[in-house]
Amino acid sequence: MSALLRILGLPALFLSKVPGLGSVIRALSTSVGQKLLMATSGLSLVDFLIVHLGGNLQLYAGEEVFNAYAAKLHSLGPLLAIAEIGLFSMFALHIGLAVSTAAMNSTARASSYAMKQTKQGLFVLPSGGASNWMMVTGLLIFVFLVSHILDMKLKKGFGVSYPPAAADAGDATNAFQNVKAVLQHPPHAILYFVCLIALGIHLSHGIRSALQTFGLNHKNWNFILRWTGFLLAWAIAGGFISVVAWALAVKN
Amino acid sequence: MSSDTLNLTLRVWRQAGPDKPGGFCDYQLEGVSTHMSFLEMLDVLNEKLIAAGDEPVAFDHDCREGICGMCSLMINGQAHGPDRGTTTCQLHMRRFASGETITIEPWRASPFPVVRDLVVNRSAFDRIIQSGGFVSVNTGNAPDGNCIPVPGHRQEIAMDAAACIGCGACVAACKNASAMLFVSAKVSQLSILPQGQPERAGRVLNMVAQMDKEGFGSCTNTSECEAACPAEISVSHIARLNREYMKALIFADR
Ligand code: HEM
Ligand code: FES
């Protein structure tokens, strides 16, 4: 654990040596600082998901509209590349800090209780609320992410037969048909479905947790904040799941 | 009619010293009065053990009225037992049923090493307080009580935070052994009042740094601490600590 923590701490150690950055990096390396960065990266990923879902829902408008949207996105060229680099660094930061804070936590509770119970209310999930499932659901999201990039970006999804690209289309393959090819492959549909449920669980704690990490907790607002977090989480997950269901329902 | 005495099986963690191996020992205790407190029940157990020539079970306690925070016991997997807003010393045996097995363990957290049996060393909390949980006051004549105006509702929030008795139940109950509820109560209590302003930014930075140095876990906003806290400290104080930390990080003139 301590070796792992030291390795994960290397970027922070390096950055803290940059003149003028030292004190800020040190303050962001504490447990509270790391949670602030986790919340920032987590909410940026949520922003990305909302935009991405907005794009995906255009599938419902039909092949032409969706492919036009895909073409427009690709025409952004270097802007898209910059956005992708930003996105991947948010993922790297978020996952790195998840591992680092989890290592901190398991060192702090080195020996566990023979018996553990809670005074908190009823939970839908076994062993407590979504907050106890962040690592598991996070890992599933990671599995999803890897598969998703193989499937949709690199078009190398295991066992998927993609429609042949039109000879003159260059790399602008038929995005609409590709999505359908991936999602109509039963193992992929199952994987996507399971991982998207995991996403809903992860965000149903994550969004509210991030707001608390940013200090948003006030008795007048807590009801609204809690429900906003919960509903936004399942609106995002549900939106993506609806795409999987749609692909299975439409003919050819 | 419910009977006034209980027959219990106690599963107690026994450990001879900090670096000695520990394990559970089972004890049968008959005729426990339901009017006893949990600690009185342990006193009875110890008298029985001493009479039999065995080592008594070491456990911490002092005030026995819920204000000192010494009676730190994990009872059936719950910090201070099954009731909300209650310390172990305020827990009564009528809460249990005859024939029940009660599992009793010490707080488990690396920064709280076991001293013996059920006693843990909570000096880590003292060092966190030393790092910033104070105000510096020049002595002299006692100032007039109301010469520093503090709005009533601010006093109430500060008092709610100051209700923390430093027992460590938050750490014990948290799946991450995080001390955020304790530290946030101490930061809140002083940051709300005018007397706490001069040291405000340094306080939160230093106390968080010391908390990490002691080896407590990080907060995942699970709120298990709030449910377990005998003084019913709210996690809204953790949000306040986070705000204080961000403010200190961005605006502190130090
Ligand atoms: C790639 C895999 C991922 C892993 C391993 C992971 C893991 C974690 C862990 C362990 C936590 C801390 C749990 C807590 O504070 O209770 C967390 C928090 C969070 N996650 Fe993730 N996560 C992943 C992906 C994502 C994605 C894709 C999003 C958003 C779309 C996201 C959004 C959040 C948010 C908003 C938080 C709360 C931040 C805080 O207050 O600490 N995570 N994640
Ligand atoms: S003995 Fe003092 S709080 Fe229980």
B103·A112 Cβ contact <8 A: no
B228·A119 Cβ contact <8 A: yes
- Look at residue A150 and tell me if it is in a domain: yes
Query: Which tens digit of pLDDT belongs to each residue from B33-81?
Result: 999 999 999 999 999 999 999 999 999 999 999 999 999 999 999 999 9
B239·A35 Cβ contact <8 A: no
Three-state secondary structure call for residue B206: helix
Measure the CA–CA gap between B233 and B35, rounded to whole angstroms.
Answer: 28
- Look at residue A9 and tell me if it is in a domain: no
Three-state secondary structure call for residue B15: strand
Mean pLDDT of A209-224: 94
- Look at residue A226 and tell me if it is in a domain: yes
Nearby residues of A249 by Cβ (< 8 Å), 6 or more positions away: none
**pLDDT score, position B189:** 95
A116: contact with B, CB 8 A cutoff: yes
| Residue A167 banded pLDDT, cuts 50, 70, 90 | very low
142-201 in A: which are within 8 Å (CB) of B? none
Residue B213 near residue B155 (C-beta atoms within 8 A): no
Min Cα distance B254 → chain A (Å) is 11
Only one residue has tokens 């509770």, namely A109
Q: Is B81 exposed, middle or buried (0-12, 13-18, 19+ CB in 10 A)?
A: buried
The helix (run of H) or strand (run of E) holding residue B195 is none
A109·B176 Cβ contact <8 A: yes
* Half-sphere exposure at residue B175, Cβ-oriented, CA atoms within 13 angstroms: 17
Range of the domain at A126: 33-249
Measure the CA–CA gap between B108 and B104, rounded to whole angstroms.
Answer: 12
From the list B74, B240, B248, the residue facing A113 with the nearest CB is B74
Query: Which tens digit of pLDDT belongs to each residue from A38-66?
Result: 999 999 999 999 999 999 999 999 999 99
**pLDDT score, position A124:** 63
Best mutation target, B235, B242, B247, B254, to test chain A (most A CBs within 10 A) = B242
What is the best residue among B37, B38, B59, B62 to mutate for testing ligand 2's pocket, by most ligand atoms within 8 Å of CB? B62
Three-state secondary structure call for residue B28: strand
Residue A57 beta carbon below 6 angstroms from any ligand 1 atom: no
Prediction pTM value? 0.91
Say how many Å lie between the CA of residue B55 and the centre of ligand 2: 23
In Å, how far are A24, B66, B140 from B250, measured between CA atoms? Answer: 9, 39, 35
**CA angle B218–B222–B223, rounded 5-degree value:** 105
- Look at residue A114 and tell me if it is in a domain: yes
**pLDDT score, position B1:** 42
**pLDDT score, position A15:** 84
Atom of ligand 2 nearest to the CA of B67: 3
* Nearest-CA residue for atom 3 of ligand 2: B66
Amino acid type, A135: M
From the list A30, A216, A218, the residue facing B212 with the nearest CB is A30
Only one residue has tokens 């998840």, namely A98
B235·A101 Cβ contact <8 A: no
In Å, how far are A177, A195, B188, B193, B239 from B199, measured between CA atoms? Answer: 63, 47, 12, 11, 19
Name the average pLDDT for chain A.
89
- Look at residue A227 and tell me if it is in a domain: yes
- For residue A47, what is the domain's CATH number? 1.20.1300
Only one residue has tokens 């479905």, namely A193
Min Cα distance B176 → chain A (Å) is 5
Nearby residues of B99 by Cβ (< 8 Å), 6 or more positions away: B7, B8
| Residue A83 banded pLDDT, cuts 50, 70, 90 | very high
**pLDDT score, position B2:** 58
In terms of CA atoms, which chain B residue is nearest residue A106? B176
Specify the number of domains making up chain A: 1
Residue B25 near residue B46 (C-beta atoms within 8 A): no
In Å, how far are A10, A128, A200 from A133, measured between CA atoms? Answer: 27, 8, 11
Determine what percent of chain A is predicted with pLDDT higher than 70.
Answer: 93
Torsion angles phi and psi, residue B29, rounded to 5 = -130, 120
- Look at residue A44 and tell me if it is in a domain: yes
Residue A134 beta carbon below 6 angstroms from any ligand 1 atom: yes
B242: contact with A, CB 8 A cutoff: yes
Give the domains, in start order, of chain B with CATH numbers.
Answer: 5-115 (3.10.20.30), 123-252 (1.10.1060.10)
Measure the CA–CA gap between B245 and B251, rounded to whole angstroms.
Answer: 10
Closest ligand (CA of B224): 1
Q: How is B111-178 classified by DSSP, letter by letter? A: TB-EEETTEE--HHHHHHHHHH-------SSPPPTTSS---HHHHHHHHHHHT-----HHHHHSTT-B
- Return per-residue pLDDT of chain B as tens, 254 residues: 457 899 999 999 999 999 999 999 999 999 999 999 999 999 999 999 999 999 999 999 999 999 999 999 999 999 999 999 999 999 999 999 999 999 999 999 999 999 999 999 999 999 999 999 999 887 888 878 788 889 999 999 999 999 999 999 999 999 999 999 999 999 999 999 999 999 999 999 999 999 999 999 999 999 999 999 999 999 999 999 999 999 999 887 76
B7: contact with A, CB 8 A cutoff: no
Q: Is the pLDDT score of A166 beyond 80?
A: no
Atom of ligand 1 nearest to the CA of B222: 16
**pLDDT score, position A126:** 60
In terms of CA atoms, which chain B residue is nearest residue A107? B110
A212·B108 Cβ contact <8 A: no
- The Cβ of residue B145 has, within 10 Å, a number of other Cβ atoms equal to 6
Contacts of B223 in chain A (CB under 8 A): 120
Measure the CA–CA gap between A231 and A34, rounded to whole angstroms.
Answer: 26
Please name which of A23, A19, A8, A170 lies closest in space to residue A94, comparing C-alpha atoms: A8
* Nearest-CA residue for atom 19 of ligand 1: A206
The separation between the first and the last C-alpha atoms of chain A, rounded to the nearest angstrom, is 51
Evaluated on CA atoms B126, B129, B131, B135, the torsion sign reads negative
- Look at residue A126 and tell me if it is in a domain: yes
| Residue A252 banded pLDDT, cuts 50, 70, 90 | low
- Look at residue A4 and tell me if it is in a domain: no
Mean pLDDT of A173-184: 89
A58: contact with B, CB 8 A cutoff: no
Amino acid type, B87: T
Beta strand B5-15 pairing with B22-33: antiparallel
Mean pLDDT of A82-91: 95
The helix (run of H) or strand (run of E) holding residue B179 is none
Q: Is the pLDDT score of A213 beyond 90?
A: yes
Amino acid type, B1: M
